[in-house]
Amino acid sequence: MKYPEFLSPHVFPPAWPVLGNIRWYGVMYLAGIVVGYFLMKYFIKKGSLKIPLEEKGGLYDFLFYVVIGIIAGARLGFFIFYHPAAFITAPWEIIGLHFDPFYFGFDGMSYHGGMIGLIIAVALFAKRFGYRFYDIADCAAIAVPFGLFFGRMGNFINAELYGRETSGVFGMRFPIYERGYAWWASLAPADRPYTNPRFPSQLYEAALEGLLLFLILFIAYKLKVKRGITFWLYITCYGLFRFLVEFVREPNEWAIGFQNGMHFIQGQATLQQFTGFMFTAGMAYSLPMAIIGIIFIVYRSISPADTIVQAKGVR
């Protein structure tokens, strides 16, 4: 099965001035934020989220905290978890600076870093404006899967972060944008380079971490589970789903050293030599999420916390 050739990482033709630099991945990020906004607004309307809309300490302030937390966390997490040597060899790249005058952008984002940034943002917002953490986090957790869904669809459109090679019927040959999409599209169809068949793991993640996870969390919300359980259910399910997808996803590269004091020595993010099987960095970061989430679900279940619907912000 071949990747759909009508898809392009660019929203507009790359040759267009200014607009040609807009990519679907960034648009998908924006779509996740917009959908999250309307979902949080829905919770406010239903009385599940006791914060104002436009006043100080309301939804707009919350979105500001969340957007900053996610972007900063995802960017820093990419380097902390996968390329820590960059803090010494090329710290300017962390904020997207390059010595190429024709290029400015972020080449890497980490989900786990973005999740940590989101949690910190929610905690700071709750503390700053006098809300209880779980009152905000439970509702925010239900909105996050939409961001994950759109993000993974953005990865698919970018033809990146695909899975391992496979000979099965679900294998897909992805385009290789060795010199950029414009170069690839300029070639005759018969000359365009493709990968060997690989699992379209981005679609698996969009379905599991996006659609299915949202369904699970929304059902928990409708069942009026105790405060905090929805948040920890999100942590648990994401950790489990990501752990499973890692078996078919191509492992991320992990910077494990230096070369001539300037460049990274890249290696597959695997702990196979220690575990005896392909244990990836994604597994190493996701499995503890599932375990910790289960522990806190049990703890919150036996605690005297009230339900999401009854929760009220404390000023």
Contacts of 138 by beta carbon, 8 Å cutoff, 6+ apart: 221, 227, 228, 229, 230, 231, 308, 311
Instruction: Identify the pLDDT of residue 115.
Output: 92
For residue range 22-62, list pLDDT tens digits in order: 889 889 989 999 999 999 999 999 999 999 988 888 999 99
Provide the pLDDT for residue 222: 94
Confidence category of residue 182, pLDDT binned at 50, 70, 90? confident
Residue with tokens 């919770």: 43
Q: Is residue 182 assigned to a domain? A: no
Number of Cβ within a 10 Å radius of residue 111: 24
CA dihedral 115, 121, 127, 133 (to 10 degrees): -30
Distance in angstroms (rounded) separating the CA atoms of residues 155 and 18: 22
Q: Please indicate, yes or no, if residue 248 is contained in any of the structural domains.
A: yes
Distance between first and last Cα of the chain: 57
In the predicted structure, residue 202 carries a pLDDT above the cut 80: yes
Residue 12 located in a structural domain: no
Compute the distance between CA of residue 234 and CA of residue 293 in angstroms, rounded to an integer: 8
Question: What does the pLDDT read at residue 251?
Answer: 80
Q: Say if 177 falls within a structural domain.
A: no
Q: Model's pTM, two decimal places?
A: 0.83
What average pLDDT does this structure show over 116-126? 96
Beta strand residue intervals within 166-303, DSSP E: 253-259, 263-268
Structural domain span for residue 269:
19-164+199-302
Confidence label for 314 from pLDDT (cuts 50, 70 and 90)? very low
Residue 310 lies in a domain: no
176, pLDDT greater than 80: yes
Report how far residue 299's alpha carbon sits from residue 225's, in angstroms, rounded to the nearest whole number.
Answer: 13
Share of the chain above pLDDT 90, in %: 56
Q: What is the DSSP string of 95-151?
A: GT--S-TT--------HHHHHHHHHHHHHHHHHHHT--HHHHHHHHHHHHHHHHHHH
pLDDT digits (tens, 9 = 90+) for 219-234: 999 999 999 999 999 9
Residue at 191 is within a domain: no
Q: What is the pLDDT of residues 236-274, one digit of tens each?
A: 999 999 999 999 998 866 533 333 333 333 444 444 555
pLDDT tens figures, 264-294: 334 444 445 554 456 777 888 899 999 999 9
178-206: buried (b, 16+ CB within 10 Å) or exposed (e) per residue?
eeebeebbeeeeeebeebebbbbbbbbbb
d(CA 59, CA 37): 8
Mean pLDDT of the chain: 84
For residue 245, give the nearest of 164, 141, 159 by alpha carbon. 164
Contacts of 124 (CB under 8 A, 6+ apart): 65, 69
Give yes or no for a contact between 220 and 233, defined as CB atoms under 8 angstroms apart.
Answer: yes
User: For the residues 151-157, what does the mean pLDDT come to?
Assistant: 94
Q: Are strands 263-268 and 253-259 parallel, antiparallel or unpaired?
A: antiparallel
Instruction: Report if residue 180 sits inside a domain.
Output: no
Structure tokens at 223: 């069942």
How much is the pLDDT for 178? Answer: 81
**pLDDT recorded at residue 125:** 96
Query: pLDDT at residue 210 above 80?
Result: yes
Q: Which tens digit of pLDDT belongs to each residue from 51-95?
A: 998 888 899 999 999 999 998 998 888 878 777 766 676 666 666
Q: DSSP string covering 21-45, please?
A: G-BHHHHHHHHHHHHHHHHHHHHHH
Work out how many domains the chain is built from and give that number.
Answer: 1
In a domain, 313, yes or no: no
